Amino acid sequence: MTTVILNRRNLLAAGGAVLATGASGLLLPARAEGLAPTPSMPGGANNYRKGAPTVERIGKGGFWMTGTVRRAGDGAPLAGQRVHIWAHTTEGQEHEPQSHGATLTDTNGAFRLEMPQIIPIFGQPHGHLAYDSGEFKTVFLRPVMRSAKDTSLEAHFVLQPA
């Protein structure tokens, strides 16, 4: 059994610890102002095909993939960035070329690409996105739809220099 002995040394140590936690708590938000980069998600790169064409729309459309691309640190929107999108849809499986396409972000760092309806695959209705242009570090995302009936899905990138 441990007995807690209250003496001056313990009190000082404990007080110091509390003070340190409190102080770092006050200091941390200032550092958190720097927007952290998005890490790649597990399984995000599955069935990735390098060099998907930039397209107006994937297949016949009907489903919207939207999102933003920002810079780590200051969070500035990144315009003209290429985002590669693929999924298992009503028009093809994940690995098939017709299921892949890319689009560019606008001046606000936003992108939206119409694609066929995403279908649950491997137990979850999900999409895949990649930033793979090289200027920033490559990131693979794998967002999951709340419901298989959803007709849109969004994903957001915060990139750090390569």
Partner 1 sequence: MRSARTVLIWTALAAAVGVPLAAAAASPLLVWRGPVYILAGFAGIFALGLVLVQPLLIGGYLPGLSAYRGRRAHHWIGGALVVAVVIHVGGLWITSPPDMMDALLFASPTPFSPWGVIAMWAIFTVATIAALRRRLGLRARTWRIVHVPLAIVIVAGSVVHGMLIEGTMETMSKAALCALVLAATIKLMADLRARRKRA
CA dist., res. 22 & res. 24, Å (int): 6
- Is residue 97 near partner 1 by the rule CB under 8 A? no
- Is residue 120 near partner 1 by the rule CB under 8 A? yes
CB atoms within 10 A of CB 101: 22
CA dist., res. 87 & res. 115, Å (int): 9
- Is residue 57 near partner 1 by the rule CB under 8 A? no
Closer residue to partner 1, CB minimum distance, 76 or 144: 144
Stretch in the footprint of partner 1 (CB under 8 A) among 3-11, 66-74, 86-94, 152-160: 86-94
Closer residue to partner 1, CB minimum distance, 75 or 120: 120
CA dist., res. 75 & res. 139, Å (int): 16
Closer residue to partner 1, CB minimum distance, 79 or 144: 144
Binding mask 30-49 for partner 1 (x = CB under 8 A): -----------xxxxxxx--
61: left (phi over 0), alpha (psi -120 to 50) or beta: left
